[in-house]
């Protein structure tokens, strides 16, 4: 696998030099403000944004539906969308249909994005992460910088170029969305308005923060909600997620339940199973007590082994027993199978391998996986 990454290094380094030199601070708002400054009306903006999402063809420079001045900035507008992120590395798994990207940003940093098997895409919201989840590669890097709303949306647009039928976006990649809330909510609003992706197919994942619920209450686009729980025991959860929001598990579940009932979307509780840590009978009993009767479901996924980590995936029998235990008590539970188990590829490992070759390890994440490597020339 390292040989594969080594082969793409010259391309990866040269890519940074080829990225468009428009400002790093370009945002969705700045693009729309630029269009408005030359006379674009709401209908013109909607047409161009839908074209950026691949819903309709990109307007021609002689398209009479648009004022002449607006047609004059079409090229720079398209360039802004096309240059925000650039695919540097692509790994595919033809069996599961997973595709993992390492995207290069204009400042040389990189992020991971994953096309999921069932026509979804997992996007990053930050370079690095401040939460410091002990079982995640990204947690080792700390927060490097926030992604702009344009960089978040552009991950989806690039994914749709490869797989136009993409119809679900999960904010479960690098970073904690609640720590970049304004940009994440702006990206959700954009996708929910222009991309033809249903609101319930936009899934905001968070470790839990009161500000998330405040933002959701006022948002015109109502995404589904996923909570990274991982333990029902406060002290243990703080150990696993050292810098999660200051909200108790009980309050977090209560607020999530209110939102789920209001939107009609069940809350998804994400639970990374770690052998001997959070797969015991005490945790399962607590989960039943916490969630039985709630409009919710539990998604179990075995932890991905990462370098120098003591955390290991439970046996398959033990994982299945955890699922069965919840189902017997009436709690909806699924087992998410990560193809990353077959190679070192989950939880940011593709990105970290790439950065190791550069001598610039900064960490990364995404729960789904890809296998066979190839370079995008």
- Identify the active-site residue in 129, 322, 347, 366: 347
**CA neighbor of 117 nearest in space, from 101, 91, 97:** 97
Helix (H) or strand (E) holding 100: strand 98-105
Per-residue pLDDT of the chain (377 residues; tens, 9 = 90+): 434 444 444 444 444 444 444 555 699 999 999 999 999 999 999 999 999 999 999 999 999 999 999 999 999 999 999 999 999 988 988 888 889 999 999 999 999 999 998 899 999 999 999 999 998 887 787 999 999 999 999 999 999 999 999 999 999 999 999 999 999 999 999 999 999 999 999 999 999 999 999 999 999 999 999 999 999 999 999 999 999 989 999 999 999 999 999 999 999 999 999 999 999 999 999 999 999 999 999 999 999 878 788 999 999 999 999 999 999 999 999 998 654 444 344 455 555 555 544 444 333 333 322 222 222 22
Q: 226-241 pLDDT, tens per residue? A: 999 999 999 999 999 9
- Identify the active-site residue in 91, 112, 176, 283: 112
299 burial type by CB count under 10 A (0-12 exposed, 13-18 middle, 19+ buried): middle
**In 199-317, at which residue ranges do the beta strands (DSSP E only) sit?**
202-206, 224-228, 267-273, 296-302
Going along the chain from its start, the domains and CATH numbers come out as 2-26+84-374 (3.20.20.70)
Structure tokens, 95: 């069996």
Q: Is 347 a catalytic residue?
A: yes
Q: 160-196 pLDDT, tens per residue? A: 999 999 999 999 999 999 999 999 999 999 999 999 9
Q: Which residues contact 12 (CB under 8 A, 6 or more apart)?
A: 88, 89, 102, 104, 354, 358
* Residue 174 φ then ψ, to 5°: -60, 135
What is the reported pTM?
Answer: 0.86
Note whether 346 and 74 are within 8 A (CB): no
Number of C-alpha atoms within 13 angstroms, CB side, residue 104?
Answer: 24
How far is residue 113 from each of residues 94, 132, 198, 266, 301, measured CA to CA in Å?
Answer: 17, 19, 20, 25, 18
Q: What's the residue count for the chain?
A: 377
Q: At what angle do helices 249-263 and 281-291 cross, to 10 degrees?
A: 40
Q: Which residues contact 4 (CB under 8 A, 6 or more apart)?
A: 373, 375
């Amino acid at each position: 696998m390292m040989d594969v990454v080594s082969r793409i290094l010259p391309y990866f380094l040269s890519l940074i030099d080829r990225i468009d030199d428009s400002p790093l601070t370009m945002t969705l708002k700045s693009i729309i403000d630029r269009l408005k400054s030359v006379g674009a009306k709401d209908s013109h903006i909607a047409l161009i944004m839908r074209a950026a999402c691949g819903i309709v063809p990109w307007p021609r420079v002689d398209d009479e539906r648009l004022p002449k001045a607006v047609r004059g900035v079409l090229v720079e507008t398209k360039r802004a969308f096309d240059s925000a992120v650039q695919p540097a590395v692509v790994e595919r798994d033809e069996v599961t249909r997973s595709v993992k990207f390492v995207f290069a940003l204009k400042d040389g940093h990189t992020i991971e994005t994953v096309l999921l098997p069932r026509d979804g895409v997992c996007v990053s919201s930050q370079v690095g992460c401040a939460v410091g989840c002990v079982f995640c590669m990204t947690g080792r890097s700390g927060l490097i910088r926030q992604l702009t709303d344009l960089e978040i949306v552009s991950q989806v647009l690039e994914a749709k170029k490869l797989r136009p039928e993409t119809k679900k976006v999960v904010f479960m990649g690098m970073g904690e969305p609640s720590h970049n809330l304004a940009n994440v909510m702006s990206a959700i609003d954009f996708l929910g308005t222009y991309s033809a992706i249903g609101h319930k197919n936009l899934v905001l994942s968070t470790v839990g923060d009161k500000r998330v619920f405040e933002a959701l209450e006022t948002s015109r686009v109502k995404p589904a909600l996923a909570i990274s729980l991982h333990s029902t025991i406060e002290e243990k959860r703080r150990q696993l997620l050292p810098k999660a929001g200051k909200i108790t598990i009980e309050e977090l579940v209560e607020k999530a339940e209110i939102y789920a009932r209001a939107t009609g979307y069940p809350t998804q509780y994400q639970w990374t199973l770690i052998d001997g840590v959070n797969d015991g009978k005490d945790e399962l009993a607590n989960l039943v007590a916490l969630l039985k009767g709630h409009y919710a479901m539990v998604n179990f996924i075995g932890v991905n082994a990462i370098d120098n980590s003591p955390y290991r995936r439970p046996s398959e029998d033990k994982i299945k027993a955890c699922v069965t235990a919840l189902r017997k008590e009436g709690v909806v539970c699924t087992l998410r199978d990560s193809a990353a188990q077959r190679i070192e590829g989950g939880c940011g490992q593709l990105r970290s391998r790439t950065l190791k070759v550069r001598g610039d390890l900064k960490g990364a994440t995404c729960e789904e996986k890809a296998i066979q490597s190839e370079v995008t020339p």
